[in-house]
Amino acid sequence: MREFDYIILGGGCAGLSLAYELEIHEKLKNKSLAIIEPRVDYKKDKTWSFWKIIPHNFDDCVKKSWENFSVNIPGKTNYLVCKDYPYQSIDSGLFYKKINNKLKENKNIYFFKDINEIDKKNSFVFNSIPNIKKNHLNIWQHFCGVEIETQNNFFDSEIFNLMDFDCEQRESVHFFYTLPYSKNKALVETTWLSKMNDNTQKDYDNQIKNYIENNLKIKNYKITYKEEGAIPLFYPLIKKEKNMINIGTAGGMTRLSTGYTFLNIQEHSMYIRRNIENIVNSKNYEISKKYQFLDEIFLRVLDNHPEKMPNIFFKMFKTSPKTVIKFLSNKSSLLEDLSIIFKMPKWLFIKALFY
Ligand SMILES: Cc1cc2nc3c(=O)[nH]c(=O)nc-3n(C[C@H](O)[C@H](O)[C@H](O)COP(=O)(O)OP(=O)(O)OC[C@H]3O[C@@H](n4cnc5c(N)ncnc54)[C@H](O)[C@@H]3O)c2cc1C
């Protein structure tokens, strides 16, 4: 069986981002790479959104970008501006196409459906298959979104709604998220932060229909696309091995308080590319310990007091938008962290420190 210098296990967001980053920086000129991916064909299956706080390789896959957003709880709306760090939505269909077209040009890059088709003994492996053990205490961000097209112009396409808590909470944390792509097209998503121990919150279709018809008050619309997913708000198990690095969700690239992962994956890819010549000895890359610690406390509060979370999120966005965005994107200074921490209900967070 054939051997390769590098193997990427899983050709999803992290695997392909890394292969692309290595390819465009000519790190695969004299090296062979095998990408192991079981899917038969690539089609749009996700919409990746984030505040663009650092440059990345996929501006041409951006479906829409916004400089204004809102957050609301029943009876109150906060309008915010994010001109410095626009919120971008990436179409995964365009992303897969762009990367696969580029990778095809390099004869040193091979695709396989199964790892057993090759010999991996002497390769360096980048693994994006998460090792998740079922645990009923773990919290997930689970969601379902639909893209709709309305008969009449309805949306203000210049402002998106990050969180609308004006919906049933069912003793959990639940909000809607609306990305208006144009005056008559939008992604509307129902999102839950919960332990997902049963299926009672998964009547997504009803939740979305009810929200579109009764909250947004849209009667004539058609659904053109649907996506569903669950992001672990805990770190998958990482087995340390000399010739392997975990990447993507498997590599702990998710910010646990928000589920945002895409831009962390891009930063991790750049880090690997810079260190590829000495990857065996390079330092482990991770989201800073400061955020790991703060997110853990935040999730404890969420677990103990789900009913308080709409207000807590609302208050968090009462800080300057630039500060909150930097905080949520792992780029805040200590002063900025403190300005957010001071907005939080102190007693709940202090209690959560000691559980
Ligand atoms: C629907 C959805 C929407 C999301 N939206 C956002 C967002 O808006 N913003 C954000 O920052 N994050 C978002 N995320 C979180 C995160 O960015 C994505 O999950 C992202 O795809 C993670 O990349 P990954 O490479 O770790 O996993 P994936 O993209 O899932 O890639 C893993 C790949 O491994 C393959 N695979 C599985 N088993 C094997 C095997 N045994 N051998 C080989 N290959 C295998 C899979 O087919 C897949 O292609 C979203 C997640 C989901 C599910």
Q: Are the CB atoms for 118 and 2 separated by under 8 Å?
A: yes
Asked, for residue 61, whether it belongs to a domain, the answer is no
* pLDDT confidence of residue 35: 98
pLDDT at position 354, please?
78
How far apart, in whole angstroms, are the C-alpha atoms of residue 119 and residue 226? Answer: 38
C-alpha 13 to ligand 1 mean position (Å): 6
List the residue whose alpha carbon is closest to atom 6 of ligand 1: 48
**Do 244 and 113 share a domain, yes or no?**
yes
The segments of the chain whose pLDDT lies below 70 read 355
- pLDDT of amino acid 355: 67
Distance of alpha carbon 104 from alpha carbon 78, whole angstroms: 47
Give yes or no: residues 115 and 249 share one domain.
yes
Is 35 a pocket residue for ligand 1 (Cβ < 6 Å)? Answer: no
Predicted confidence at residue 300, as pLDDT, reads 94
Using a 6 Å cutoff on CB, does residue 260 contact ligand 1? yes
Domain-embedded: residue 72: no
pLDDT at 237: 85
Q: Are residues 20 and 116 in the same domain?
A: yes
Q: Residue for token digits 């790190």?
A: 27
Cβ neighbours, 10 Å, residue 250: 25
Does the residue 37 lie in any domain? Answer: yes
> How far apart (Å, rounded) are the C-alpha atoms in residues 205 and 199?
13
In a domain, 146, yes or no: yes
* Integer Cα distance of 141 and 232 in angstroms: 6
**Among 7, 9, 13, 247, residue to substitute to test ligand 1 (most atoms within 8 Å of Cβ):** 13
169 and 128 assigned to the same domain = no
Token pair of 350, please? 């202090």
Instruction: Tell me, yes or no, whether 242 lies in a domain.
Output: yes
Strand partners, 119: 3
Same domain, 218 and 344: no
Distance from Cα 12 to the centre of ligand 1, integer Å = 6
Number of domains in the chain: 3
15 and 120 share a domain? yes
Distance 351 CA to ligand 1 centre (A): 35
Instruction: List the domain range (segments joined by +) for residue 214.
Output: 140-232
State whether 148 and 206 are in the same domain. Answer: yes
Whether residue 255 sits in one domain with residue 188: no
- Ligand 1 centre from 206 Cα, in Å? 26
Q: What is the mean pLDDT of the chain?
A: 95
Give me ligand 1 centre to Cα 201, in Å: 22
Write down the pLDDT at residue 45: 95
Residue 130 CA: nearest ligand 1 atom is 26
**Which helix (DSSP H) or strand (DSSP E) does residue 157 occupy?**
none
Question: How remote is the CA of residue 285 from the centroid of ligand 1, in Å?
Answer: 19
Q: Is residue 70 part of a domain?
A: no
Instruction: Read off the CATH number of the domain in which 128 is found.
Output: 3.40.50.720
Adjacent-strand bridge partners of 110: 34
Residue where a domain terminates, one of 281, 312, 341: 281
Tokens standing for 355? 């559980």
Whether residues 124 and 251 fall in one domain? yes
65 lies in some domain: no
Which pLDDT score is estimated for 31? 96
